Amino acid sequence: MLTNSPCLVAPCMAVATWYIWYHMNDSQKTTVYLDRADYQQLKALARRQGRKPAELVREAVAVYTRQRGTSLPRSLGSGHSGKRNLSERAEQLLRGLGR
């Protein structure tokens, strides 16, 4: 059978080993405390998907951080009023906004 050929299996194993090594060495270990019910649901979801709970947590964190981002608005600091007391008058200047 062709799938048992060392020529076909070895390269795949090498790639899989590299992938695991790279991602394990690229990771930072942390501890997350979950409510019992959330953890049970996480385990059930992982079981249904044939994945590990930690994999689902990493995926969820990656999606969350990409959506929230840490970048500041591009407009921040783009203008210069020339007035040194702007921060002292912020409440006065912003009064009425958002209503």
Q: What is the pLDDT of residues 7-63, one digit of tens each?
A: 454 555 655 555 555 555 677 888 999 999 999 999 999 999 999 999 999 999 999
Residue 74 domain-assigned?
Answer: no
Q: What would the pLDDT profile of 77-97 be if each residue is shown by its tens digit?
A: 667 777 778 778 888 888 888
| Residue 3 domain-assigned (yes or no) | no
- Residue 33, classified by CB atoms within 10 Å of its CB into exposed (0-12), middle (13-18) or buried (19+), is exposed
How far apart CA 59 and CA 55 sit, in angstroms, is: 6
CB proximity list for 55: less than 8 A, separation 6 or greater:
46
Q: How many domains does the chain have?
A: 1
Please check whether residue 12 lies inside any domain of the structure: no
Q: Which range marks the domain in which residue 42 is found? A: 30-68
- On whether residue 44 sits in a domain, the answer given is yes
Domain contains 91? no
Q: Are 42 and 57 in contact (CB under 8 A)?
A: yes
Q: Is residue 46 part of a domain?
A: yes
- The H-assigned helical ranges of the chain are 6-25, 36-49, 53-68, 90-94
